[in-house]
Chains A and B, each alone.
Chain A
């Protein structure tokens, strides 16, 4: 895998954070993907109005497809087996509901306003994710 220029990474990060900033100042809402998805699918409640959540969830892959078509075609390298993807998906779905957020809601939005809950959540999922990668990659050797 080729290294990505830090400048490109920073530009992408500014877009992500800029999106979160726009949603807060215009709509008064947190740009958390897991919560938006739960609301859009009507699995969860307590999020933004349904139409906003649905629009966000549709907009995200649209924006991704546009950049992939015109700016930078990403190569997705996925090592996980189908069984591992299913287990991982179940854990991510269940965990983000139980923990009220994911990398965007806690990581980008919550940490930016110095929320103790989001900082604790982010440190926790970073730690268990790093530990998981270590165990899967270096102990189990997958």
Chain B
């Protein structure tokens, strides 16, 4: 039960960070990606700052035998990139560039008065279902090694 409350709190802190840093604003994100236009460095500061506590946590993890509220750490093994991973990342990037939304900011956008976020999230769920329904992809898929 405590781990569920933790997840709720962590989700809230995550969403708070997305709004504070303006990563919920598609134009801000696209301005970072627009390297030949009026470039906006905000996303670089956000990601750089986010990596600090995250990296620190992985260093602390090495000293721990188990997490505070769970039996074990569930972290993907460091394997080599493969075609599936790179194809998925490439497609994700195209969608991210078109809309300026990635999954976190889109979920936050649901409560920020942007109807576009609802349309985007609905389409995103359909895309996730489409991936699940494609048997050829699922069969070639090894055991879940989720990093998402």
Question: Known contacts being A58-B8, A60-B11, A126-B93, is A91 close to B108, with CB within 8 Å?
Answer: no
Q: Is the interface of A mostly helix, strand, loop or mixed?
A: helix
Which of A9, A27, A131 is close to B97, meaning CB atoms less than 8 Å apart?
A131
Question: Measured between alpha carbons, how far is A99 from B35 in the docked complex, in Å?
Answer: 24
Minimum CB distance partner of A18 in chain B: B53
Question: Measured between alpha carbons, how far is A32 from B54 in the docked complex, in Å?
Answer: 12
Enumerate 12 A-B pairs (CB-CB under 8 Å) in ascending A order.
Answer: A4-B40, A17-B51, A22-B10, A26-B67, A43-B129, A63-B16, A67-B20, A76-B109, A91-B92, A102-B92, A103-B103, A126-B93
B46:A9 contact, CB within 8 angstroms: yes
B14:A31 contact, CB within 8 angstroms: yes
Question: Within residues 92 to 118 of chain A, which ones have a CB less than 8 A from any CB in chain B?
Answer: 92-118
* CB of A14 to closest CB in B, whole Å: 5
B92:A92 contact, CB within 8 angstroms: yes
* CB of B38 to closest CB in A, whole Å: 9
Question: Measured between alpha carbons, how far is A131 from B110 in the docked complex, in Å?
Answer: 27
Q: Is the interface of B mostly helix, strand, loop or mixed?
A: helix
Count how many chain A residues have C-beta atoms less than 8 Å from C-beta atoms of the other chain.
122
Which of B19, B49, B109 is close to A72, meaning CB atoms less than 8 Å apart?
B19
Which of B40, B108, B119 is close to A3, meaning CB atoms less than 8 Å apart?
B40
B137:A98 contact, CB within 8 angstroms: yes
Minimum CB distance partner of B38 in chain A: A1
B98:A132 contact, CB within 8 angstroms: yes
Question: Measured between alpha carbons, how far is A103 from B57 in the docked complex, in Å?
Answer: 18
B110:A27 contact, CB within 8 angstroms: no
* CB of A113 to closest CB in B, whole Å: 4
A12:B46 contact, CB within 8 angstroms: yes
Question: Known contacts being A27-B69, A113-B55, is A41 close to B128, with CB within 8 Å?
Answer: yes
Q: Which residues of B contact A87 (CB under 8 A)?
A: 95, 98, 123
A27:B3 contact, CB within 8 angstroms: yes
Question: Within residues 1 to 33 of chain A, which ones have a CB less than 8 A from any CB in chain B?
Answer: 1, 3-4, 6, 8-33
